[in-house]
Structure 1
């Protein structure tokens, strides 16, 4: 022990247990004197001078040896193999652990513990992270708990504060104290969980990079940027590639944009990741972005920078973002109705008293729902849900607005206004249904093109029906007897025609023309292909297989991924259509996960590794990580 003095400067002196002399911390001559004398207590002086505590040889008398983790010395109990953090490098804490956890060995002398330490070191059974070979299941359990914490997007210290205490309680009451000691030895501290997540993230990233390099087709990237709770901008990137017999979507990386969010900054982040992992733009076949200026500017946008490096890369605009833009093409009369509905919702939801009173009013009326939903442009489905709820509560909303003396009550008493509200709720419901179908992670250009072609045909049909006062496709509108209000029909017909034209203009440019044989390979006539086409022979072999015909009928165009070895020419052309992303839905979902992880209480979290473990479909190789740690044993 070293006792600090209470002199003029409180922390400058310490008394050495070995010689009982006061030592001036800043006097190197005294330190050298102690070293020459072979006095190990001088290590206390060196330790106090440094910012971090270090292991002292005398700690073995409490049953502790040291291990090195990422260059940092950590204590490990020779009896239970438990690893303590740097904050536990105090004799009082070590003695407390020995007496509380191992009371039977509390009276053992230093020679006993030194013999035990020598035995373990000679056998080489103390691996890097402090577990002997028979403790490998405990290390594996630590990794699995860390992975569950990352998947659940929870703070790292929840393992020590909640998971481990709960596990100890359950094991103690169900299995007994003996089994409880085994659970107690599982390392689940905050720092341990953090390191586990980093190690698993690095392993997952390594696997993904290897799979990308071995993919038979060029990969596709989708990326977007958004701000977190701390108002820091993050770039989120996902990748799609062929892995074995499947089309795989994977998380690539999430990096903060420290300053500006210009196209050059985005390009620099991606370029740095490529160089770090030995990737090139030659293996990129397509990219998908939103229509932000940083992405789509003709000269300085990100897509232009990509074209300079890789002219072969195909750039597509997210179908869902264009879908959201098209829904803003409302005639003036319908736009006014939508604005007043939003005002009415904000009048109630933005005032806590109005919100409580309206809820109580709806409950008293016996309504199925009693709360209005908020609407946000960035949430693509929220507008339709909000309009449906307002239409459902329109009667109660009119009475409540009148009672609160709001001028909006007159609008909700107008039949024409309610009819327009019914149409808006119906049309946005139809658009939301298409939107949900396009949000599937495996959606391809072929499927998106088919959905949008069908929607355009339906819009044309609905416009003709509305012109004839047939509201079969608009049940809420039909409920309000809008046939008695013919002036509304013109606005609705105009809106449906505008929607059709905008969808046609937006999507016809990006959708890659697909050959008939790709969509219907078993009914395509060979005459539709040229005689000198190198793929025609493979198509003949394909059409002769009854087994493959049955499989195609089950899985659709995705079945081309499984034929890469048997039909290389056909599949290479098919990959040009199947691999490109058509939405940035994975990025949107990823930002939701980022918000769940990086809360106000965790606003300094660097979320890259947590995001990779949480969002990746590739499982970390935990056994390999454990084996590599055993091989890197360091004392």
Structure 2
């Protein structure tokens, strides 16, 4: 061990060699993926105030969906869409990855990323016309959560800014009850946020969670209008045996309606997974188009039925890439897009 050189230059060189080797493996796995890959990218600023572009990728490897860090490069000049695209284009050209290999991209939704005319997504669609562009569900969730009607915005402002009359406000019952409601509703929103990220996050899960939350908003509104605060435990505790006031009911209903409107704005029903992807043995074939013959063969295959019961949806379709190539490829290209940019 004493004879092994351990100078800074030697260690740095070995780290660089290992990094290059890992990147070469990832690039080869991307090229070998049986379906088109998904990209997740975001800009960030480091400690030296230099803008960095961070990119992750998701693809199929050995019958599993795999996500990997692809690269992090400095944006030397500006953070415009053209600069972002150029950096990614240069990486693809250097590693001989064809743009046709990209099927989807997920960004934070900034104008530079998803602008219709000159955004990064628009430039990418010039190369890949059928590209799926995803606006990160967590960024959309944040836009929903921060919108407050005037009354609750004032309550939040007093708490955040710690105004001079802050102590007096805690003797105001209306203020305390409004603050309690905000604690409850933000707790519900936080639960929604947590349910849409993590290792099991997917577009199907995100869509289901959002639709469930929309229905809960309607339920909570009806309950509040009926004088029930059971869905808001902190508010219920503060109220005790008292009846909720008409003014507080009005303010809470106004906020729930506001949330419902913004949820519809940022989470429109513009994309629905074909039923056969999630329930291949129960769904009809009306939305299977030219894949109906393969779907029929799959539905009568008892071995596939057994696998579907024990595998996650993504794992099941990965398992079908040999026997039902086109059917599995179509399903996976709708499953594989990143739902969030949380890795970046």
TM-score clears 0.5: yes
Partner of 2:103: helix, strand, or coil? strand
Counterpart for residue 204 of structure 2: 446
State whether structure 2 residue 279 is matched by structure 1 residue 520: yes
State whether structure 2 residue 153 is matched by structure 1 residue 335: yes
Counterpart for residue 553 of structure 1: 309
Q: Say whether the 8 Å CA contact 1:446–1:577 is kept in structure 2.
A: no
Counterpart for residue 247 of structure 2: 487
State whether structure 2 residue 324 is matched by structure 1 residue 564: no
Question: d(CA) in 2 for partners of 1:197 and 1:503?
Answer: 46
Which of residues 239, 242, 260 is equivalent to 1:500? 260
Matches of residues 344-363 of structure 1 in structure 2 within 5 Å?
Answer: 344=162
Q: Say whether the 8 Å CA contact 1:267–1:302 is kept in structure 2.
A: yes
Larger Rg: 1
Question: d(CA) in 2 for partners of 1:488 and 1:263?
Answer: 46
Matches of residues 40-59 of structure 1 in structure 2 within 5 Å?
Answer: none
Partner of 1:586: helix, strand, or coil? coil
Counterpart for residue 456 of structure 1: 214
Which of residues 284, 299, 316 is equivalent to 1:543? 299
Which of residues 28, 39, 55 is equivalent to 1:237? 55
Counterpart for residue 280 of structure 1: 98
Partner of 1:454: helix, strand, or coil? helix
State whether structure 2 residue 65 is matched by structure 1 residue 307: no
Question: d(CA) in 2 for partners of 1:554 and 1:428?
Answer: 36
Relative CO higher for 1 or 2, CA cutoff 8 Å, sep ≥ 6?
Answer: 2
Deviates more, 1:294-303 or 1:187-196: 187-196
State whether structure 2 residue 343 is matched by structure 1 residue 583: no
Partner of 1:278: helix, strand, or coil? coil
Residue 296 of structure 1, CA deviation: 2.4
Question: d(CA) in 2 for partners of 1:468 and 1:212?
Answer: 56
CA displacement, residues 499-556 of structure 1 (integer Å, 9 cap, x when unaligned): 122212222255x321111111122245x467xx442232223223334323323333
Q: Say whether the 8 Å CA contact 2:227–2:244 is kept in structure 1.
A: no
Q: Say whether the 8 Å CA contact 1:521–1:539 is kept in structure 2.
A: yes
Going from structure 1 to structure 2, the CA distance change for 1:525 and 1:305 (only over 3 Å counts) comes to: closer
Q: Say whether the 8 Å CA contact 2:274–2:287 is kept in structure 1.
A: no
Going from structure 1 to structure 2, the CA distance change for 1:485 and 1:219 (only over 3 Å counts) comes to: same
RMSD of aligned C-alpha atoms? 1.8
Counterpart for residue 50 of structure 1: none
Q: Say whether the 8 Å CA contact 1:441–1:585 is kept in structure 2.
A: no
Residue 494 of structure 1, CA deviation: 1.5
State whether structure 2 residue 175 is matched by structure 1 residue 417: yes
Residue 285 of structure 1, CA deviation: 0.7
Which of residues 426, 442, 456 is equivalent to 2:184? 426
Residue 586 of structure 1, CA deviation: 0.8
Matches of residues 102-181 of structure 1 in structure 2 within 5 Å?
Answer: none
Which of residues 38, 53, 64 is equivalent to 1:220? 38
State whether structure 2 residue 12 is matched by structure 1 residue 191: no
Q: Say whether the 8 Å CA contact 2:40–2:56 is kept in structure 1.
A: yes
Residue 197 of structure 1, CA deviation: 1.5
